[in-house]
Chains A and B, each alone.
Chain A
Amino acid sequence: MRVEQHPILKFSHGGMIKFYFNGIEMYGFEGDTIATALYANGIKVFGHSAKKKRPRGFFCGIGKCSSCMMRVNGVPNIRTCITPLQEGMIVESDKYDLPETAPYRKPERKTMDVDIAIVGGGPAGMAAAIEAGKHGDVSVLIIDEQPRLGGQLIKQTHKFFGSSMEGAGKRGIEIASEMEEEARKYADILLETSVIGYYNRGHHFLAAVNKLKGIVYEIKAKKIIFATGAQENYLVFENNDLPGVYGAGGIQTIMNVYGVKPGKAGIIVGAGNVGLILAYQLLQAGVKVKAIVEAMPRIGGYFVHAAKVRRHGVPIYTKHSIMEAVGKESVEGAIIAQLDEKWNFVLGTEKKIDCDFIAIAIGLTPSARLAQMAGAKVKFIREAGGWVALHNEFMETTANGIYIAGDAANIEEASAAMVEGKIAAVHALNSISPLTNFEAIVEELRNEISSLRKGKFGEKARLAKERIYEGYYEELRGNRSG
């Protein structure tokens, strides 16, 4: 199930690592996560759900959905998709019982005091750290759950459009490496560490945990930038939780970052840019794409991407969706059917497609739960992809000193995320100690982001941001009068 040949990516696997899955000896490579090593060994069922005992596999691949949790070295509820594989690891699925002799591990506690804490080391978070470091003499900390920085950039193999300042013409993986190197000059970085909560103790305070190492970080921060990204949308259909039903991004992660194929042949639900790009990436990795189904009457993504996929013989069915995932322990097929004007299936149009995975590429929802916990007012804004933390032009939320940037602030492209991160950083910096050229820096960044949101494809982002700013100022006025 490993990718053998790839036109763009080279997977230089590290040494072999021995581990045990439910008592069986298995091997993975250095650089694998537990989940990718298991998947490469042909393990698709990662456990069974606690109540209905339904088989479950991974879904998101980036630690958000918690569908891949297992007991690792005796520690329960480890998200195997973001935990690096280590020699001799004991991995057990379906362990819900409390250990009889509870191995109480007294966590090591570390306190930190920083000027700017950045949650999430993707494009927005890294850009914020770099910008803060360039313009001011402040302590900056990036906290990320993943084993490496880069967020979703690390799985993008295509060349970016957009602004040349934000790395257009380069591939996402290259941009990620360059930015990581620079971010390390300016910021302290905690990887494999999850922020578990925000607390107000008269100042901003975060608690973060590195679970396998057993370290709890207690972080006091003057300003916090939440660059927490987004969560892949899930879709309701019969058997939608069967192993083999994966998020499009989850597939990109195991395939483009770890070099593990999701299966032999699959279908993709959603013909937006993510679905179309995923189709092409699957073909590059030597995986068949049997069909792309799109509920809308038109393809949502760029014409160039659709044309490329069609040239390779992949049919795109518009006004179609998935009815059912077929299979016992994992996906063996998919039933698709046509939709009528009221989004109901037209009976008699069902088609069964043999496939061993189904990719869900129907968009993303901003991850704003931590910002919400920090007091940021959240509102549902359709154009932004769901509930977003209201914020102003400087990316500050309705909670003082709490910023949001990137996909967490509205689903958009990586270049916009980077500029937003920079704006947040400059504003945070200026409110810690005033910058002499603050206005000029911000104006330049604002111009850059406006040019990214120009034209037809920027329309949605422009609308979303207008609504978000409106909501922010409404909320502020409400607070003053109330």
Chain B
Amino acid sequence: MKIVCRCEDLTEEDIVNAIRKYDMRTLSELRQILRLGMGPCQGRTCLPIAARILARETGQKIEDVMPPASRPPVVPVEIGVVGEDEE
């Protein structure tokens, strides 16, 4: 197995298949379908590789592949950090 996204256990094959099946053009779309880059490392490991795969599969220039939006939290935290309960 050739792993691209360690956090979400996605292989090169998973990514290629999704691009072909759903005719994907962006990393944001891959993120929505596959959870690519949504694990604890927030895409630090997989996004550069996935960008190359996407460029290769769709014939886009790598320069035209944009990273998906970056949102907090960028590292895993307990839920209590972002929202507090009364009890």
Contact = CB atoms under 8 A, between A and B. Distances in A.
Interface string B50-87: 01000000000011111101111111111011001100
Given A69-B40, A372-B67, A59 B6 contact: yes
A197 B34 CA distance: 23
A197 B77 CA distance: 11
B46 interface: yes
Given A64-B41, A373-B71, A105 B80 contact: yes
A443 interface: no
Given A104-B80, A196-B72, A196-B77, A240 B40 contact: no
A63 B40 CA distance: 11
Interface stretch (A86-94, A176-184, A279-287, A378-386): A378-386
A107 B81 contact: yes
Contacts of A54: 1, 3, 9
B77 A211 contact: yes
A75 B1 CA distance: 31
B29 interface: no
A195 B9 contact: no
Contact-residue bracket for chain A: 35 or more
Name which of A199, A209, A381 has the most chain B CB atoms within 10 A of its CB: A209
A240 B41 CA distance: 17
A107 B80 contact: yes
B17 interface: no
B14 to A, nearest CB: 10
A317 interface: no
A430 interface: no
Contacts, number: 131
A52 B9 contact: yes
Given A77-B40, A196-B74, A233-B48, A50 B80 contact: no
B76 A69 contact: yes
A65 B41 contact: yes
Given A104-B80, A231-B44, A367-B44, A236 B4 contact: yes
Contacts of A387: 48, 67
Name the prevailing secondary structure of the B interface residues: loop
A154 to B, nearest CB: 21
B75 A196 contact: yes
B44 A64 contact: yes
A383 to B, nearest CB: 11
Contact of A234 (B46, B65, B77): B46
Interface in A368-382: 369-370, 372-373, 378-382
Interface string A223-258: 000000001011011111100000000000000000
B9 A50 contact: yes
B21 interface: no
Contacts of A378: 66-67
Interface string A65-104: 1110100000111010000000000000000000000001
Contacts of B77: 194, 196, 209, 211
A391 interface: no
A49 interface: yes
B80 A106 contact: yes
A76 B40 CA distance: 12
B4 A66 contact: no
A479 to B, nearest CB: 17
B1 A197 contact: no
B25 to A, nearest CB: 15
A386 to B, nearest CB: 5
Interface of B: 1-4, 6-9, 12, 39-46, 48-49, 51, 62-67, 69-78, 80-81, 84-85
Interface of A: 49-52, 54, 56, 59, 63-67, 69, 75-77, 79, 104-107, 145, 194-199, 207, 209, 211, 216, 231, 233-234, 236-241, 365, 367, 369-370, 372-373, 378-382, 386-387
Given A65-B44, A107-B81, A211-B78, 18 more contacts: A51-B8, A63-B75, A76-B78, A196-B72, A196-B73, A197-B72, A197-B73, A199-B72, A207-B81, A236-B49, A238-B1, A239-B1, A367-B44, A373-B72, A380-B51, A380-B62, A380-B64, A382-B63
